[in-house]
Amino acid sequence: MLKTVRKGEWFHIIVPKEWEGTTVEEIFRQVWEAPKKLTHHFRTENKVLVNGSRINWNLPLTPGTTLQIQLFEDEDPQVIPYYYDIDILFEDDHVLVINKPPFMNTHPNNPLKDSNTLINAAAFYLQSKGEIRNIRQIHRLDQNTTGTILFAKHALAGAILDKMLEKRDIKRTYIAAVHGLLRQKKGTINKPIGRDRHHPTKRRVSPTGQEAITHYQLLKDDKNKQLSYMKCWLETGRTHQIRVHLSHLGHPIVGDTLYGGQPVILRQALHAAKLEFSHPMTKEKLVCHAPIIGQLDIFKNIDVYSI
């Protein structure tokens, strides 16, 4: 874990031993894997200093010196701030993890008109604290799915987390209640997912679709109600992935009428219970658990903190 501190608009990192001989250019492009355009912006705008002075980006760093990066300037928000009392699971100067409520979209379809989404609520929350930021969504959840969602507060954290998500270094674990009793207590569904040409929003397992991998494990079952409670974790993030895969397995999610579930509850019984990732700037290992929200009694006997 890196030694860091914020001072006003600047983020200070004490250069660690493992960065000895590494240049600032290499930190941005190889360690953080930041995009060329963003790296160019930090370099040309003089947003990186060492011990308070401008530096040659191609000279090696010395352990113990202070790398200073201007990360915390005000930005014009790209969405309309919208008041909603959000449930914060983790927050610092760089990232924000929210427990998403049901019946709410993650982001607006039209940023200039729509406002009642989670990212709009996050923008309002930050503004109310005096943080004028263009908050960045790292991944998403379906409208009727609850649980952990990760946001970045500035462009560099956003770029690092985007790359981590692409490399499958962010682990998302869900719980689901499904119809039927599982024959296999755990397994992996490796089936590509594509659009359903007969339905505008539905997806389906398709040989011409995109790679999709879902792992699952049984938590408990209810033989009287013929229900199974399982945890699932993803290697890919396709639209409706868990819903499609579990339906294909023959165990549609309770309440998920789009994919064969029975409407015994008001929405699909799917909750993003745990998020695990390394902090983009400090490398601290973070684990966020999301309590069940939205009066979803079907999960009342599941302890999300044991997932």
* 238/245 Cα distance (integer angstroms): 11
Amino acid found at 288: C
Whether residue 149 contacts residue 136, with contact meaning beta carbons closer than 8 Å, is answered with no
Whether residue 171 contacts residue 277, with contact meaning beta carbons closer than 8 Å, is answered with yes
Residue 152 half-sphere exposure toward CB, CA atoms < 13 A: 21
Q: Exactly one of 142, 196, 256, 303 is catalytic; name it.
A: 142
> How far apart are the two ends of the chain, measured CA to CA in Å?
25
Tell me which residue of 23, 57, 60 sits closest to 42, measured CA to CA: 57
Q: 37 is written with which tokens?
A: 């355009």
* 45/37 Cα distance (integer angstroms): 12
Measure the CA dihedral 247/251/254/259, to 10°.
20
* 219/195 Cα distance (integer angstroms): 30
Tell me which residue of 197, 175, 256, 261 sits closest to 226, measured CA to CA: 261
Tell me which residue of 98, 231, 204 sits closest to 153, measured CA to CA: 98
142 is catalytic: yes
Enclosing H/E stretch for 300: none
Q: 89 is written with which tokens?
A: 């699971």
* 134/151 Cα distance (integer angstroms): 10
Specify whether the backbone of 48 is left (phi greater than 0), alpha (psi in -120 to 50) or beta.
beta
Active site (catalytic) residues: 142
